[in-house]
Amino acid sequence: MIQKRMKSLAILLVLLLLSLTGRLVQIQLVSTESFSDHNVNLIESSVKQRTQVMKIDDGRGDFYDKNGRPLSHEVIPVLVLFPFLNKMDWPAEKVANIINEPEYLLRYELKAAKEPFAFGGKTPLKLTEEQSQAINDLKIPGVFAVKQKLEHDGTMAEHLIGTLTKSDELKAKSYPNRGLSPDTYIGITGLQHTFDEFLLSEGESKLVFHVDGSGGPLFGVDVKYVEPANPMYPVKVITTLDSDIQAAAEKLVDRHGIRKGGLVLIDIEKSEIAAIVSRPKINQRNPNENSGSKNRMLMQDTPGSVFKTVTAAAAIEHDLVPPGRTFNCDETIDGKKEPKKKLGTLDFEKSFSQSCNRTFGDLAKEMTDIDPDFLLSYGSKLGLIGQTGWQGEKYHSNFKQLDKEESGRVWNDKAVKKDKKLAAHAAIGQQDVQVTPLAVANMMATIARGGEKRMVTAVRKVSFNNGTTAIDFPAKEMEGERISPYTAMKLQSLLRSVVTEPKGTGASLSQLPYEIAGKSGTAQTGIDKRELNKWFAGYFPYKNPKYALVTVKLDSNDQEAGVTSLFKEMVEEIYRIETSSPVPD
């Protein structure tokens, strides 16, 4: 009986030893990089237990304005402290004297630390070059002055720049053969998405210090600075934005209480986005939340009377508005008595400056007999219909700079374009007409250039870390027909009259430091809710055009103010910036 029990116990011990041996083989030889159902990398976990790491740069490429100033981050010299200093006798007083901070603050932050950190909390203390040199000259283990990349809480032009995710599912779908780590970000909206292949991290830059089992330093093992194996990364995406003007634009849009809408500013000569603001803001806690993540400046909406510019171009080129022709602006577009806005009898120029619907309804009915496609045709000639952003052949594929840019349209159903009543309503920017604020700005830039229509760029180039250019984006013209130089000149005069005429809808802009040409627009978008889109689009200076600007407030109501005042203050702010501290381009 005793022998039988001993044999059973021996067998049990052997099985237990075999099981433990098998487990050790699995841990140390078989599943070292994907242990358990959680795919734990045991090698990495082991290394983490023996090291303390301070990340300096995540390795993902970054965005800069046209003058090379970072838009979403800054790189500053900081004081890095490792928590094992708590177990050492180190000259804290010397470090405190160098950075001009009390010694007790150093020790207080250090006492609470479990990982290496930059002294100063969420806003680390920014060191001078002299302070950085003096700290590193002390050669204290666990005390370093390094340059660290710090992400801004609020990114400039956040909708244009876009958002990121660590989603393993999306990474596997987008880059099935890359084997990206769980900590790697990829772009899902904006420029972060369209330029993602350039921006992907090639590895972090970090400080690594080896420690013993109790967390103390392994003396004789120096701190290591680890950086990506490829010195060409991370890349720099040089955008077309002017960060001074962009910052001013965002403040003004918020000051004017724009809940839905924004503004877009184009450099006319270069056909570049100088500033762009979309509201509502992105929800930083849930950046993919639907309403806030959309860039309204790239989305279709109803333009209202801004679209009369297209009808005017068609009427001019078909000689429908000879000198002396007048229109009864006491009647609505449907020939009824105007209940509110009685303007009397007006000629073509005053009809445009005072925004008489009847005039452009009548012209549309006449144009429908000549060419039922006139609105689509002239919208295209003015760079308003279709996509506006830069696109072209790059790396054997059609590359588009702007993410999810929508195309403008005139008709939902082309079969109704011969209906004169519907054509009249479309001619004043109602009915089915949908355009993006960016395209409206491009229309104004096209007119200011005398009819030359171009694609609009948001990025000038992508540079490698050593400064060489990886890819650039030369200016490109938009395909298709243009308006004649004569028509462009007449449109310029009409747009200027909106501001110079005493009863013009833009008369409040007549005293600005730049001469303005432009067009207002109010569109009904929700009849039941009495919702309105309010626009002002134009360019300046009139005689030497430099900027095209669109301001828009979407889904507002009758009682809310329009956006002409926002346009006005934006022009004043640009004048202030450009005359006080000009930055060479």
User: Which residues have CB under 8 Å from 381's CB, separation 6+?
Assistant: 313, 451, 453, 480, 481, 482, 483
Task: Report the alpha-carbon distance of residue 482 to residue 494 in Å, rounded.
Answer: 18
Residues of the chain by 3-state class (helix, strand, coil), percent to 5: 35, 25, 40
* Distance, CA of 313 to chain centre: 32
Are 145 and 132 spatial neighbours (Cβ–Cβ below 8 Å)?
yes
Helix/strand/coil for 426: helix
User: Which residues have CB under 8 Å from 543's CB, separation 6+?
Assistant: 515
Task: Report the alpha-carbon distance of residue 504 to residue 90 in Å, rounded.
Answer: 74
Selection from 546, 68, 463, 487 nearest residue 271 by Cα:
546
Selection from 47, 293, 33 nearest residue 182 by Cα:
33
Residue type at position 378 = Y
Cis peptide before 372 (omega within 30 of 0): no
Tokens of 483: 């308006």
Selection from 534, 538, 536 nearest residue 515 by Cα:
538
User: Which residues have CB under 8 Å from 101's CB, separation 6+?
Assistant: 119, 125
| 377 labelled catalytic | no
Are 456 and 442 spatial neighbours (Cβ–Cβ below 8 Å)?
yes
Tokens of 231: 């010195």
In the block, residue with structure tokens 């990829």: 186
Helix/strand/coil for 115: coil
DSSP string, 76-102: EEEEEE-GGGGGS---HHHHHHHHT--
Are 298 and 405 spatial neighbours (Cβ–Cβ below 8 Å)?
yes
Cis peptide before 287 (omega within 30 of 0): no
Alpha-carbon torsion (359, 365, 370, 374), positive or negative: positive
Helix/strand/coil for 385: coil
Are 281 and 295 spatial neighbours (Cβ–Cβ below 8 Å)?
no
Task: Report the alpha-carbon distance of residue 347 to residue 358 in Å, rounded.
Answer: 12
Residue of 201, 271, 305, 556 with catalytic role = 305
Selection from 266, 265, 285 nearest residue 277 by Cα:
265
Task: Report the alpha-carbon distance of residue 425 to residue 77 in Å, rounded.
Answer: 60
Are 51 and 209 spatial neighbours (Cβ–Cβ below 8 Å)?
yes
Strands 236-239 and 62-64: parallel
Selection from 263, 238, 319 nearest residue 441 by Cα:
263
Q: Which residues are catalytic?
A: 305
